[in-house]
Structure 1
């Protein structure tokens, strides 16, 4: 049975001790579970006390949890998720803001804020969490952790609360690459056959130009080191070259993914909010105001555009190629600083322009903790083609692991 022991500094909602189901490749490792993923005997909060109190306790673990227990890992707790996982900043009015271990005066990033805090503050070796618009990658970047969003639907989402099914994935945050690699392989159930070595690193120039100049400088230094150490060619590429049209990267977000995400959120969570009228946090209420006003019919063309972007981007990928870009365009904002619409947009708009690239193309992406800017961590991301997850893990190991 769960033993409630809230500890916002480590993102903990419930302390648990779920023993491994058997021995396996994750023997000796401990993990936490984001609180939008079911654990048997626990109510899943979805980052909202109102949701938690309206739901029965889960009878079964989410299948992805059992995969990790079956690979030898031990589950030690449930951790904070941002309200309805609809946030990238990690500040929770309901459960407290988890501590960013590498930058304690700054936000941890969301919506997997508790996952990042539980790993960064030493509670667990890795955390099982989810990503739609950047909810694994952004906390990984801002907290100096390894994070992987896999290809869409590579991992079972049975027992994961419905969010944005055309975008949402289950993935992992970890303190070391070898832990990330082992946990992801246990979830992917992929082939053990060899994959090609990476021969080209394409730097997504549009994403680089969106980033703050100090982040751009650190990306350049990191790629110079990788090229020198590995001999792998580093080449620039623009979004317009990838999709074969005069389009900017922000089209992925503004003319594609944003409308798809909003329409699906209306259907999965919005219906419940409208029916049950729960108490909502201030920040979420502002965001949900846009969801409530959203015109589904007007967005249909943009939703169709997502499918075209998916096909165009993946047709561009070669089997030995990774695309690289800063995971986030800037360091973590100071806690409490996202208190005006201008501040929120200054953080969200450029961040989601970058995170939408892998989201709309359903790509596997790994954020590596390789950059330090003004004393704060920033991730450097590597992405590969859809369903090239094992190649990406092997490539990152060869390049920087």
Structure 2
């Protein structure tokens, strides 16, 4: 199979750009491939190119001021989503069978959803990150984008170094109703239509559950982002890239300049309670997702915005806030999550995500064909 690698993943002899001309031009080309690249090459895959990423991968929209906006094959007038924008575009446009990207706040899942392809964020640190540029180590993981489930499954099992032990049977199928409710009305309609179709084809009925029921405390789903993951991400970004930005003084694009103002002013010490909150949420969510349980929700709350439309604070907030409410759920709980290209709204794709408990990646891969029915994967 042909694959591309996001431009924060090392390919020996080629400069790793990180979506930034300043980073590319001030860092030498790596001597070695990232370990995940060597795993794929050893398994017989062929790397056909590096894929554009959002600037310093700190974005979910896929528009890079320096390198352009990769084409969303399913909606050419709309953004592809980011920061694994080129990875999704290379798969969606048929240039590659699969791509490896990275995901911290949704950077694999969001472009998979908006481009109408398969995307997997595995359990945190299941895939080696040696040779992947440091970003948010407490959150970020290598992920996979693919045009078909069979390709995604084959690639995942290579990168996960999957054990041969049997996995648990599917015992419980949940739908996170809070996650559905924050989506646009048209997306909600399509989610429930898809769940009804699954029930009719397979007899598997989705059991509705609210976030407060999962964690045993009356708190909103948005807490995963606003009171936990967002602060961890910002603090880690300060440490991994903030030092370079402050000392090298690179020319930043307009979008990253606006976002970095919040990073620069961030109160690290005041946010330490959020790190503790992350661990509490991790424990509670995973206790509610024992082996054999799958939970689903829309990958993104909306279709892809039009290219060039995220130029004001209001527009950015309207896209990012509900999107990260959804993506932070698996992020804070370190869950494996797969975005499936099941939904279509106004002619544009939206993914339906399926997640399982931490380190239950192989179970999730085995459960999807059962949930979606033979021939649907």
The separation in 2 between residues aligned to 1:192 and 1:394, in whole angstroms, is 12
Give the match for residue 221 of structure 2: 249
Question: Which residue of structure 2 aligns with residue 158 of structure 1?
Answer: 130
Unaligned 5+ runs, structure 2: none
Offset at residue 201 of structure 1 (A) = 1.5
Residue of 183, 197, 207 corresponding to 1:235: 207
Whether 1:391 aligns to 2:363 is yes
1:335 equivalent in alignment to 2:293: no
**CA separation in 2, counterparts of 1:94 and 1:228?**
48
Provide the C-alpha distance between the structure 1 equivalents of 2:96 and 2:103, rounded to a whole number of angstroms.
Answer: 19
**Matched residues in 1 for 2:45 and 2:370: separation?**
26
State the match for 1:311 in structure 2: 283
What's the secondary structure of 1:351's corresponding residue? helix
Q: 1-side partners of 2:290 and 2:203: how far apart?
A: 18
1:276 pairs with one of 243, 248, 254: 248
Structure 1 residue corresponding to 2:38, chosen from 42, 63, 66: 66
Equivalence for 1:93: 65
Query: How far 1:171 moved relative to its partner?
Result: 1.1
Cα distance, 1:196 vs structure 2: 2.4
Tell me what 1:138 maps to.
110
Deviates more, 1:223-232 or 1:285-294: 223-232
Deviation at 1:242, TM superposition (A): 0.8
**Cα separation, 2, equivalents of 1:120 and 1:64:** 22
Question: In the alignment, is residue 51 of structure 1 matched against residue 4 of structure 2?
Answer: no
Structure 1 position 220, deviation (Å): 0.3
| Structure 2 counterpart SS, 1:135 | coil
Encode CA deviations 1:233-259: one digit per residue, 9 max, x unaligned: 311111111111011000000000000
Cα distance, 1:294 vs structure 2: 0.2
Equivalent residue for 1:8? none
Shift of residue 195, structure 1, vs aligned partner: 1.5
- Distance in 2, matches of 1:32 and 1:280, equals 25
CA RMSD of aligned residues (A): 0.7
Q: CA deviation at 1:355?
A: 0.2
In the alignment, the residues of structure 1 paired with residue 99 and residue 164 of structure 2 have an alpha-carbon distance, to the nearest angstrom, of 24
Alpha-carbon separation, structure 2, partners of 1:163 and 1:124: 25
- Partner residue, 2:175: 203
C-alpha displacement of 1:193: 2.4
Task: Give, in whole Å, the separation in 2 of the partners of 1:144 and 1:126.
Answer: 13
Question: Which stretch shifts more, 202-211 or 192-201?
Answer: 192-201
Q: Contact 1:199–1:232 (CA<8 Å) still a contact in 2?
A: no
Indicate the SS of the match to 2:206.
strand
Q: 2:87: which partner in 1?
A: 115
Equivalent in 184, 189, 195 of residue 161 of structure 2 = 189
Q: Distance in 1 between matches of 2:325 and 2:156?
A: 26
Alpha-carbon distance in 2 for matches of 1:88, 1:356: 13
Could you tell me whether the CA contact under 8 Å between 1:222 and 1:370 is conserved in 2? yes
Matched residue SS, 1:78: strand
Determine whether 1:40 maps to 2:12: yes
Corresponding position of 1:23:
none
Write out the 4+ residue segments of structure 1 that deviate beyond 6 Å after TM superposition.
Answer: none
Counterpart Cα distance in 2 of 1:90 and 1:345: 16
Q: TM-score, normalised by structure 2?
A: 0.98
CA offset at residue 231 of structure 1?
A: 1.6
SS at match of 2:277: helix
Shift of 1:95: 0.5
Q: CA deviation at 1:229?
A: 1.4
Equivalent position of 2:185 in the other structure: 213
Match of 1:233, SS state, is coil
Q: TM-score, normalised to structure 1's length?
A: 0.92
Shift of 1:399: 1.6
Structure 2 counterpart of 1:361, from 333, 347, 366: 333
